[in-house]
Every structure is written in C-alpha cells, then in structure tokens.
Amino acid sequence: MESQTLSELIDQAEAEHKWLYYHYQNMWFSPQELRDANAEGRFRWRVVNWRLRDPQEKLKRLREHVKSSQKELEEFKEKIGR
C-alpha cells in the first residue's frame, strides 16, 4: 500500500523545488502543471510511477541535444557544400 498520495508527492516536489518525472514515457511536469492536469482527470497515475527530479537535469540534456544537433548540422552542411 502506498503511504503517500499523488497530491502529497506534488506538494513535496513543490517544497523541494523538484519536478515530477514519469519514467515510462519520459514525461516531465512542474508541480503546478501536474496539479492542473490532475484537476482535469489527466495523468493520475500511482505514486510509485513518479520520481522527483531536478529540472536542471532535463535542461542539461536539452542543451547537450542542441549542441549535438548543431554539430551534426554543421558537418552535413560541409558535406553538401563540397
């Protein structure tokens, strides 16, 4: 039996300045986003499915993705410019 409700987990995330991560679909939600979605009956999955994560992790990965994509773009532009 789960000792914490989803609402309590959202409150915890907010207090700890964390976001909620749903690992099955790689989805990130701010506490307010998930609270609003839950009020509409969406994303009301069991607490065990959620992890509290630092949103800076996602930001870092996005920056790395942009950098990698930019490098790939530049390399491809060089190839077609030959």
Q: Is the pLDDT of residue 26 over 70?
A: yes
Using a cut of 0.85, tell me whether the model's pTM lies above it.
Answer: no
Cβ burial of 68 (10 Å; 0-12, 13-18, 19+) is exposed
Q: Is the pLDDT of residue 1 over 90?
A: no
Compute the chain's Rg from CA coordinates. Answer: 18
Stretch 32-39: mean pLDDT = 98
- Contact of 28 with 7, CB cutoff 8 Å: no
d(CA 50, CA 9): 9
Stretch 66-73: mean pLDDT = 97
d(CA 52, CA 10): 9
d(CA 29, CA 36): 10
Q: Is the pLDDT of residue 2 over 70?
A: no
